[in-house]
Structure 1
């Protein structure tokens, strides 16, 4: 089932893949990452997909509280969490009937590689009107540093963790208004900044340790106040290499909340509505603060709406020269899941 939230397409794979080794969703993700990355590459590359898409593979949850588990696959690899992918997966759970819809507010739990995720769905006349999901506790790792970037000069940036490490930069300082016609230039600019930072340093999560080279950059527009405790801002998220997300992204919005809290610009209960290049919007809410291993963590939630695009069967033809499917057959249920 292909869906989108804020314009970001998520392909929900709910059948055809056999059991994966690992007792937890995180362990199953690590198995794919280390031993069976062919599934991600086949589904995201031509002729089946494009790098701008994501894939969410439904797998059994290890925690009995969760309806299902899900593994997120993107062009950069396997993020442990994603807001837009969670919005799509939660909606798919209801649309596929894995959990019967209930009118009004419906709560349930999913299991991501990062752990359990609380979901609040609003359903009206059988339609999933919105999903609110927990964002990962987010924090500022680095504040207002500068780096020399070839072709750009000195660039000021901050680093947040919100499910992945994010470079946060001021769009106006780099000459952008965050409109759709700037998309190609935004990608080139972000690529240069990410490469410069990767060459200079790496980042470690306070409990997860080394989570790999920094993959995300978020361009920040001016923050405007629309009402007391309600803020809006144009935004754009880049995923390395080469992808500008259609939505503002949930984790990008969570990173913004962490920065605004660090700068004492928001209070618990306040919201930030981020607006993408395509005028789609997510709403992040600052729900509270916590502490862990010396870090101040911003608890938050993300609200958005996902739309079903299609339901389909994918046929993997191993003799197709466009398809690099070596090793894929061992993961799939032959024919039942669409493998030839």
Structure 2
């Protein structure tokens, strides 16, 4: 008999965005860092991403996080993020889900109350604080990437929309930040399809007109994301709330507000003089889920004011399963996948 090729998964979600955590079934990847392992996977084994995000196994709205051994001894585990648009070096919702999974899988033993540990992402080490109550992981707080405003209040002509005003932030990827009300949106669930169409048109127009370069990373590709911003509500001193929606791919508005989208909004609020260290922003999605971002620090990096921040949310385990990879299935392309699958006897 042929050996059975299986992947062990823990499906989770944070704010509605499903992250499929691959806990077993992939051989150790080459690379001296998690970033290098990500690059190997991207360049030599992209079949794993496509397998789990495309039919018959998945849908583009999901994400995949592959657990790998950390290359930094201080980290409990490493993880590689895969989404329909590729391989982001960081994601808040995926980090929240991955941290939840390593606790639920016992990779990091749960401790009642608050506990801290490190994970290694392709962007580097990430500090995690988990809140556990009676054995239940009730909250995860993770570091956001250093974030800053690259361009403020730029304008562009968008076919079918006219002149659109936007700012550009970096928070793990480049984001266009757009005031939703200026385009007639209230950021309610019935607007989801129109929001996706509108965001796609704006992003395509920006990509056609200009590119963006990170102050240390250089050219990291065209701007991929757009964050629609609702009005700011001051809930109490130092605590704000705003409806939000994040576009990540043609036809895809994230079910959550996203961690990096929240970090991008924090960078804009600081740029506009609205925040002091310790202030928080709760972003609320079309599905009434939310993340809480906190502005923690700021430092000058060349011409940019770069903010430190963290993101708090909750991850939920929704399934544990084994995926059987059948290379005889005409819908499965094992060509860029087979060499990294661990074979087990049936």
Q: Is TM > 0.5 for Structure 1 vs Structure 2? A: yes
Q: Give 3-state SS (helix, strand or coil) of 1:253's partner.
A: helix
Quote the RMSD (CA, aligned, Å).
Answer: 1.0
Contact 2:228–2:246 under 8 Å retained in 1: yes
Matches of 1:294 and 1:201, distance apart in 2: 19
Is 1:333 the counterpart of 2:342? The answer is: yes
Is 1:52 the counterpart of 2:61? The answer is: yes
Contact 2:245–2:254 under 8 Å retained in 1: yes
Matches of 1:142 and 1:292, distance apart in 2: 15
Quote the offset at 1:241 in angstroms.
2.5
The equivalent of 1:28 in structure 2 is 37
Matches of 2:204 and 2:101, distance apart in 1: 36
Matches of 1:303 and 1:70, distance apart in 2: 19
Q: What are the within-5 Å matches in structure 2 for residues 119-158 of structure 1?
A: 119-158=128-167
Q: What are the within-5 Å matches in structure 2 for residues 152-171 of structure 1?
A: 152-171=161-180
The equivalent of 2:319 in structure 1 is 310
The counterpart of 2:279, out of the listed 249, 270, 273, is: 270
The equivalent of 1:227 in structure 2 is 236
Contact 1:224–1:231 under 8 Å retained in 2: yes
Matches of 1:292 and 1:116, distance apart in 2: 20
- Deviations 1:280-307 (Å, cap 9, x if unpaired)? 0100000111222332111000000000
TM-score normalised to structure 2 length: 0.96
- Deviations 1:4-54 (Å, cap 9, x if unpaired)? 000000000011000111100000001111221111111110111100000
TM-score normalised to structure 1 length: 0.98
User: How many pairs are equivalent?
Assistant: 337
The equivalent of 1:181 in structure 2 is 190
> Which ranges of structure 1 fall in alignment gaps of 5 or more residues?
none
The counterpart of 1:239, out of the listed 231, 248, 251, is: 248
The equivalent of 2:84 in structure 1 is 75
Quote the offset at 1:327 in angstroms.
2.8
Contact 1:273–1:282 under 8 Å retained in 2: yes
Select between 286-295 and 310-319 the one with higher mean Cα deviation.
Answer: 286-295
Contact 2:46–2:336 under 8 Å retained in 1: no
Matches of 2:94 and 2:184, distance apart in 1: 30
The equivalent of 2:6 in structure 1 is none
